[in-house]
A and B are shown apart, each in its own frame.
Chain A
Amino acid sequence: MPLELLRLSTAGSVDDGKSSLIGRLLYDSGGIYDDQLQAIGRASRNGALELAFVTDGLRAEREQGITIDVAYRYFSTKRRKFIIADTPGHEQYTRNMATGASTAQVSLVLMDARKGVLPQTIRHAFIAWLLGIRNFVVVVNKMDLVGFREDVFEGIRRQFESVQDRLDGAHFYFVPVVATDGDNVVQPSKRMDWFNGPSVLEYLETVPVAESANGRPFRMPVQHVIRAEDYRGYAGQIVSGSVAVGDEIEVFPSRRKVRVARIPSFQGDLMEAFAPMSVSLCLDDHVDVSRGDVLADTTNPPQSSRTFRARVVWMSEMPLAANRPYLLKHMSQIVCGEVTKIHSRLDLTNLSEQPAISLGLNDIGIVTLQTHRSLFCDPYQVDRKTGSFIFVDPITNLTVGAGMIEEVQEDRASRARTAIPDGVTVWLTGLSSAGKSTLSRAVYERLWARGHRVELLDGDEVRQHLSRGLSFSKEDRNENIKRIGFVAEMLARHGVIAIVSAISPYREVRDEVRARITNFLEVYVNAPIGTCEERDVKGLYRRARAGEIPGFTGIDDPYEPPLSPEVECRTDRETIAESAQKIVDAVEARLSESREDYLPDSPMTRL
């Protein structure tokens, strides 16, 4: 009977003695060989045996005295086999923490008894929890340096309660330890007789972690189609559930239902197979199945969509950008996809979600994603295998991020692409009295007359409703623009042409709105300031000159003209009709372009 395997990830800062703890686990369980110990002795700086060197592998790290990547270590006892993913503690290495935790069932959270719960401790526990770990061993190390005092240990345990409240469904086991001497690591400590719980190793040997993948519905992504004479088998790993000869299963995306005819294997045919076996299945009907397809339970199929809300851990120096194409690898398929919206970034100092427009290296955020082909998945909380994916940069081929599906959303993407093509946002920017409102009404009438679905969003009008109470400070002006952008995007999604007229003086926020909208036409309504001041439709220039309106655009607040607008209308030289026609032409050109863009589920996107 093979031993049960337990995978651990460790977390703790450089000075908490994490590597010493692992070294001690390996050493005391006989996992370090004599010649390796000798080699450690040779490599240590002052002749003293440094157990941490067992786990700190690479030379660059020895020079810096820190661990820099994920190192995997192996040991076994009579009861279990263990794989430890040792990940560094410093905060810039969130990516390594997440990597180590992605395959682990238990997390060892280490802290220094003198320092107690640090922000870093909380971060580590939270990342491990996000990646799906529900069993935590909280190792309170360096108890010798606090006189082995029970009250210090209990104080830390109480301090940790506030963290526990944030980690829904997690179980915590606290142990007081001296890693360098081995107290409570493998053997119970004689110096802390007030502690009666199992040692770290004993706990790890007995904690129940049996994954219940077998009780879940059947899922098998197809990795390879095996062809021999008169033979066709679909090979892959069963990621959850089980399957037996004669079972009816469903093929995704074709949604054909077929029966399992045979489960052939090197050792002879099987009658049944279950997770995590790698098998091949022969089906009783000739159906089109290829790599990337998913075979699944008919009564309990995976969710299928192109739109997801996902938790993302970003792992690249190049920030995650909305609307930039990435390759997503999900089970055995690679699809093109993009983030359509970044909802928030996690502030790891207080575990709060903050608004964000991009995610940088080691940031954790929540995003909405759209893929070009459907994914067949379950939420990560339900199934780590079918709910996880990675981001691959299509240019550099690097793995730049990791994603966990939180929610499969109503398939907005496919609806937009099949039934309702995206609309267009026409954004008229320019000085007060440059002619934006007049022009927008002229464009509206022309488009309406030509049968388009069209809506007007006038800056002055919006300020009386949606943005009532906002001032004309830079911050509030930007807020006003973002609100208009938000409404325009919603309208565009439903195929409406939204005509916005707003001074919108700041380039940065205009570009931010542009980044969120697929079909965005920036129209620079351009008239020299002298002309505008002469027109002074609302008498505002006069009041500004009189000092009654401080911060007036063009007078004492800057107007940043667009650098490359799709359309420019010189309202001092063109007639309204000429300007309006230019805009209408641009809108119709963009509409026909984007509707040509639409392609049905193309096999080209499957790699």
Chain B
Amino acid sequence: MLYSIGKDSSVMLRLAQKAFFPAKPPFPLLHIDTSYKFHEMIEFRDRIAAELGLQLIAHSAVKSLAEGASPFRLGTQKCCAALKTGALLEALKQGGFDAAIGGARRDEEKSRAKERVYSFRDNLGQWDPKSQRPELWNIYNGRINKGESIRVFPLSNWTELDVWEYIEAENIPIVPLYFARERPMLVRGDSLISPEHNPPMMPGEKPVNVVCRMRSLGCTYCTGAVRSTATTVADIISELRLIKKSERENRVIDHDQEGSMEQKKREGYF
């Protein structure tokens, strides 16, 4: 099961715990660590895995990192291709995994709206939106040949609000970055960028303290914060009911090229 440490992964983990209770989920968690994540995410990840006694595989694109891959040097597009997509395909191959369960939702992004719950990938991990298996009722076809794989998205039909309501109802632990507090941020127009991992600064630029929170979590440079005073899950839910912007608006990677997520997914991005 892909575990990105974010709120959707936290919900997935809880669903897996419940599904197999009282046994533990019979699969390991896989985290693709780009090395550009928030340190709070890594701490949370290690704590949860230890508490639940689950096997955690943290995989990084060691070779690309050694060659100096970073969002600052490569740009976000190429960086994602190397440190996320590349690392994911590498990890799936190394583990011999023929299925990977992920927390992606169809409401997140346009190209995901047509994603299947069981999404077939060829032996290179590629997605072909034109030849997907039809999915009727709740009958899923998980049959594959050797070398091929299936990505499974159990949260396909959940919305962002559903996720938060479930977190509230089930009292699921989440990374504190989702809650508002004063944090040092680089303020660039409407965007708030975290200074963690030392992104290149504009001349004379300095982090300033802003009361903000993360609406979705990824690498520090590509995850913009939003100005917010929501300090509890209930606050977040009422904030979401009023909000006029989508959750991935601050995600740099979705917008770097028109139709860009679809392109990434064709290549094997989750």
Contact = CB atoms under 8 A, between A and B. Distances in A.
Whether chains A and B associate is: yes
Nearest to B15: A278
A36 interface: yes
A401 B68 CA distance: 49
Contacts of A58: 110-111, 114, 129, 259, 262
A392 B141 contact: yes
B114 A390 contact: no
A74 interface: yes
B136 A266 contact: no
Nearest to A55: B113
Contacts of A98: 134, 136
Contacts, number: 124
B188 interface: no
A408 interface: no
Contact of A72 (B136, B157, B244, B246): B157
A605 B183 CA distance: 60
B233 to A, nearest CB: 15
B23 A227 contact: yes
Contacts of B144: 397
Contacts of A68: 130
B145 interface: yes
Interface string B98-115: 000000001100110110
A96 B136 CA distance: 9
Contact of A235 (B19, B107, B130): B19
Interface residues of B, number: 41
Interface in A447-477: none
B53 to A, nearest CB: 13
A228 B245 CA distance: 46
Interface string B149-191: 0000000110101000100000000000000000000000000
9 contacts: A69-B132, A71-B113, A226-B23, A228-B22, A237-B138, A264-B21, A329-B139, A388-B137, A399-B135
A60 B130 contact: yes
B23 A36 contact: no
Most buried by B among A33, A330, A385: A33
Given A278-B19, A385-B138, A70 B114 contact: yes
Contacts of B246: 33, 35-36
A251 B51 CA distance: 38
B146 to A, nearest CB: 11
B249 A384 contact: no
A562 to B, nearest CB: 37
B6 to A, nearest CB: 19
Interface of B: 17-23, 106-107, 110-111, 113-114, 129-130, 132-139, 141, 143-145, 156-157, 159, 161, 165, 243-246, 249, 255, 258-259, 262
A42 interface: yes
Contacts of A358: none
A278 B19 CA distance: 8
B141 A390 contact: yes
Contact of A2 (B129, B132, B156, B165): B165
B245 A35 contact: yes
B259 A266 contact: no
A362 to B, nearest CB: 11
A278 B145 CA distance: 29
Contacts of A103: 136-138
- 9 shortest interchain CB distances as A-B pairs: A33-B246, A102-B136, A35-B249, A57-B110, A397-B143, A59-B259, A266-B18, A399-B133, A266-B21
Given A226-B22, A390-B136, 12 more contacts: A30-B244, A42-B258, A59-B258, A68-B130, A72-B114, A74-B107, A99-B134, A226-B20, A237-B138, A265-B18, A266-B21, A389-B139
A16 B249 CA distance: 31
Nearest to B249: A35
A555 interface: no
B17 A266 contact: yes
Nearest to A401: B134
B5 to A, nearest CB: 21
B240 to A, nearest CB: 11
B63 to A, nearest CB: 31
A402 B259 CA distance: 32
Contacts of A231: 22-23
A43 B258 contact: yes
Interface string A5-40: 000000000000000000000000010011110010
A398 interface: yes
Interface string A310-331: 0000010000000000010111
Contacts of B130: 60, 68-69
Interface in A222-280: 224, 226-228, 231, 233, 235, 237, 264-266, 278, 280
A228 B23 contact: yes
A83 interface: yes
A149 interface: no
Nearest to A385: B137
A73 B108 CA distance: 10
Contacts of A72: 106, 113-114, 156-157
A341 interface: no
Nearest to B129: A58
Contacts of A55: 113
